[in-house]
């Protein structure tokens, strides 16, 4: 009975945090949609757009790591972190609300953008820490999968939002986004209070040797995560649109882009059972190998049906990879350093996005077939490393 109620509580918390993730991700989508217009109002050349987005990701990376450290310190002092996260989210919502009104003043606009990005990191790494505080380590990957559904839905909706909001005054979407983020952040307090007051950290009955990893092992994990995330960024933002344009009618284009994220959503829902049965490292190995093969099919697809299927399956395995990375980071970290670890992992994902944006801004997207095969090469290299590591550890 206690296990059932604990599972229900953990799942309820994860679904609430999925809502927070959804509204946060949608606010980012709204920001990206209207940023060119806002820059134009301030007289800023549109060629600076990719570089500004890259700087935003750099700020995300720095703020994610700092937020993770702050959360760990608060936990060590036995303080609740929910109110602090809600306060930062409220500042983030207010900053976003003001962005359209400051677009005519470039310096103030950029400063407010920096404030928005930095404070919104309260909605990135800390929610995973909240889950790991009272969820068994073996269940973190599955609960993270539920939470990441918010990101999946927002990413799938992005092309449709772009069409729907075309010609709309930015003030209204920014207002609704700010209100949604501010209100949904209240769920952070509720999720924290779902934890029994006497329970600080739940740890599975695993040998101590698998709970911690050396600095060298952790650095390797972050490097692999960076490669995987960079490959995903290049595929979804650069290669997939080009592949669909090659085989599909222009009218179908906005309806085909979300196929990857639909597969991603399904992967998030199924990853928990596999992780519990085989462990995060095994799932990571399988997903990287299968994902690299699937990306290669996308690169050589000669029919739209084959391309759609390969995009769907690639997204499916990316869901496995991302959840396994989060679960592996929590498993291999010390219980009171999960904030630092998840913050560094989120920062790594932001650096991957920054790298892809810098690639776009530099004009390297004209690299053609080499760029199309880059995600395959990167995921394949990671898969080989993980398979060899798994073989030597047995």
Q: 3-class SS at 277? A: helix
As a whole number of angstroms, the distance between CA 160 and CA 153 comes to: 11
Model confidence pLDDT, tens digit, residues 109-141: 989 999 999 998 888 888 877 776 655 555 677
Distances (CA, A) of 187 to 52, 77, 193, 316, 332: 31, 22, 10, 28, 28
The average pLDDT across 323-328 equals 86
Q: What are phi and psi of 42, to 5 degrees?
A: -90, 5
Model confidence pLDDT, tens digit, residues 264-316: 999 999 998 888 888 888 899 999 999 999 999 999 999 999 999 999 999 99
pLDDT at 310: 96
As a whole number of angstroms, the distance between CA 204 and CA 295 comes to: 35
Distances (CA, A) of 117 to 19, 80, 88, 110, 114: 19, 23, 11, 10, 5
* 277 closest CA partner among 161, 386, 139, 80: 139
Assess contact for 35 and 53: CB atoms under 8 A.
Answer: yes
Look at 37-46, 49-58, 126-135, 158-167 and tell me which has the smallest mean pLDDT: 126-135
Locate tokens 């407010």: which residue? Answer: 112
Element (H, E) at 65: helix 49-76
209 falls in which pLDDT band (50, 70, 90)? very low
Look up the pTM and report it: 0.88
More confident residue, 283 or 190: 283
Domains of the chain (ranges; CATH) run 1-205 (1.20.1250.20), 213-332+363-394 (1.20.1250)
pLDDT at 147: 86
Percentage of residues in the chain having pLDDT higher than 90 = 36
215 falls in which pLDDT band (50, 70, 90)? low
As a whole number of angstroms, the distance between CA 244 and CA 113 comes to: 33
Model confidence pLDDT, tens digit, residues 221-260: 899 999 999 999 999 999 999 899 889 888 888 889 899 9
Per 3-state DSSP, the chain is made up of helix, strand and coil in percentages (nearest 5) of 85, 0, 15
More confident residue, 185 or 143: 185
Distances (CA, A) of 140 to 31, 328, 381: 30, 9, 26
pLDDT at 152: 92
pLDDT at 254: 82
Element (H, E) at 214: none
More confident residue, 43 or 107: 107
* 269 closest CA partner among 22, 5, 4, 18: 18
């Amino acid at each position: 009975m206690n296990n059932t109620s604990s599972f229900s509580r953990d799942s309820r918390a994860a679904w609430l945090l999925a809502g927070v993730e959804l509204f946060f991700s949608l606010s980012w989508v709204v920001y990206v949609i209207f940023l060119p217009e806002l820059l134009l109002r301030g007289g800023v050349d549109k060629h600076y757009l990719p570089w500004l987005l890259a700087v935003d990701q750099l700020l995300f990376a720095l703020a994610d790591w700092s937020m993770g450290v702050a959360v760990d310190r608060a936990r060590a002092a036995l303080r609740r972190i929910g109110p602090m996260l809600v306060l930062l989210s409220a500042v983030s919502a207010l900053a976003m609300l003001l962005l359209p009104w400051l677009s005519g003043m470039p310096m103030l606009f950029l400063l407010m953008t920096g404030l928005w990005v930095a404070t919104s990191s309260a909605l990135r790494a800390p929610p995973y820490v909240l889950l790991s505080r009272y969820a068994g380590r073996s269940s973190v990957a599955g609960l993270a999968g539920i939470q990441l559904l918010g990101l999946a839905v927002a990413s799938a909706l992005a092309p449709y939002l772009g069409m729907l909001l075309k010609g709309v005054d930015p003030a209204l979407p920014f207002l609704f986004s700010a209100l949604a983020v501010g209100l949904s952040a209240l769920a952070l307090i509720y999720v924290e209070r779902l934890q029994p007051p006497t329970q600080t950290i739940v740890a599975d009955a695993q040998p101590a040797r698998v709970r911690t990893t050396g600095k060298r092992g952790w650095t390797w994990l972050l490097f692999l995560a960076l490669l995987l995330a960079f490959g995903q960024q290049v595929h979804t933002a650069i290669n997939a649109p080009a592949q669909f344009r090659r085989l599909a009618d222009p009218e179908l284009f906005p309806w085909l882009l979300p196929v990857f994220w639909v597969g991603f959503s399904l992967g998030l829902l199924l990853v928990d059972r596999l992780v519990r049965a085989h462990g995060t490292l095994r799932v990571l190995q399988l997903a990287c190998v299968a994902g690299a093969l699937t990306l290669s099919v996308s690169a050589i697809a000669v029919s739209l049906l084959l391309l759609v299927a390969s995009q769907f399956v690639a997204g499916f395995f990316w869901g496995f990879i991302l959840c396994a990375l989060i679960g592996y980071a929590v498993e291999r970290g010390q219980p009171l350093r999960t904030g630092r670890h998840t913050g560094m992992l989120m920062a790594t994902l932001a650096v991957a996005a920054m790298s892809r944006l810098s690639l776009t801004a530099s004009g390297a997207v004209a690299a053609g077939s080499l760029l199309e095969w880059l995600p395959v090469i990167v995921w394949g290299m990671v898969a080989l490393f993980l398979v060899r590591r798994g073989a030597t550890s047995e």
